[in-house]
Amino acid sequence: MEPAESGQNTHVLTIGSIHLDQQFLVDSLPQPGETVVAHAVTRGLGGKGANQAVAAARSGARSEMVGFVGDDSKASELLAWLNEFGVSTPGLITVDDAESGVAAVVRDAAGANQIIVSPGASSIGEISDAALRAAIGRARILVLQGEIPVSLSRRAATIAHASGVRTLINLAPVVDFGEALRNADPLIVNEIEARQLLALEGPHDDLTLASLLSETARSVVVTIGDRGAMLATTEGTIHVPAPRPERVVDTTGAGDAFVGALAARLAFGADLESSVRFAVAAATMSVESAGAAASYPLFEEVLR
C-alpha cells in the first residue's frame, strides 16, 4: 500500500463499541463448574468498534471513532488508548450515570479464549442524526458491527447509503439490520455467524456458506480462521488462504484486525479481492502477539 496522495480521502469512520478488556491468562480454559487460577492479569483497549478503528489506523487510514463511554474512571483510560493508537475521537460521547463497557477475556496457553462482555454505555448511548451525518460526511468508508444498539447502526447505514459512503457491516454478533444489510459492501461474518444468519444447523462447507450469503448483500466475506476467508461477489466465490503465523500467542481480536485492515485498504482505493488478501495477512500477524488492539501490526509490516 502506498502512502495516501495529497488530498486523497482515506478516512475510515467506525461506529461501535468501546470496552476495557481485562485478560486472565490461564494454562487451560475452565470447563463448566471448574475454577482455574490465572497466572497473570492484564488490561487493555477492547470492544469490536475500538479494535476495528485501531486496526484501520495501524493499516494507514485516517481512522475516526464514534462510540460511548461512561462517566467513570475507565473512560479517560479508554480515550487515551484510542488516541495513542492513532484514532481520532471527536465523536466519543460520555453517557451520564453509566459504566464504560468491560470485557473479561480468559486466554489459555494455546491462544484460545473465552470472552464475557458487559457493554455498559455502549448499549445505551444515543446520538442525533445531525451528528451522524456530520461524522459520516467526512468518511470514505463506514464500519459497523453488532455490539451497539442496532437501531443506531441502521440509521448510520441508511445515512451512509444516501451519502454515497461505502459501508462494511461486520455482523458480530448477529443482529437484525433489516434492509440496510443489502447495502453492505462487504458483509463480513465468521462461520458461526454465517450459519446463524442463514438459520442453518450443523456443519456446512465454506463455499456453500459464502454462496448462500451472496444474495444478502452487495458482497460477502466469510472469515474461516486459520484457513483465511471466502469472498463472494457477483463474479463468483473465491478462497483467500491465510499465511502460516510464526506462532499463535493470542487469537483475541483477530477478526477485528481483519475488518479494520480491510476497511483501510478499501479507503486507499484498492479492489475488494486485494483488500481481503491484505486483511487476511493483518489478522494472521495479530495472533502472534498478546492482546487485541495492542497486537495490531503497522501496515508497512504487513507488506514486508
The whole-angstrom separation of Cα 45 and Cα 68 is 14
Residue written as grid cell 468498534: 49
The residue ranges of DSSP E strands in 5-148, in sequence order, are 11-15, 19-25, 40-46, 62-70, 87-95, 101-107, 113-118, 141-144
Q: Is 26 exposed, middle or buried (0-12, 13-18, 19+ CB in 10 A)?
A: middle
Instruction: Give catalytic status of residue 256 as yes or no.
Output: yes
Kindly name the residue from 71, 96, 256, 271 that is annotated as catalytic.
256
Nearest to 219 by CA among 157, 173, 144, 272: 272
The whole-angstrom separation of Cα 234 and Cα 269 is 19
Sign of CA dihedral 139, 141, 144, 150: positive
The whole-angstrom separation of Cα 151 and Cα 123 is 11
| Amino acid sitting at position 102 | V
Q: What is the DSSP letter of 58?
A: H
| CA distance to 11, 48, 65, 121, 282, per residue, from 51 (Å) | 16, 5, 10, 17, 13
Nearest to 19 by CA among 64, 52, 41, 58: 52
Residue written as grid cell 491484505: 278
The whole-angstrom separation of Cα 59 and Cα 114 is 27
Q: Give me the active site residues, please.
A: 256
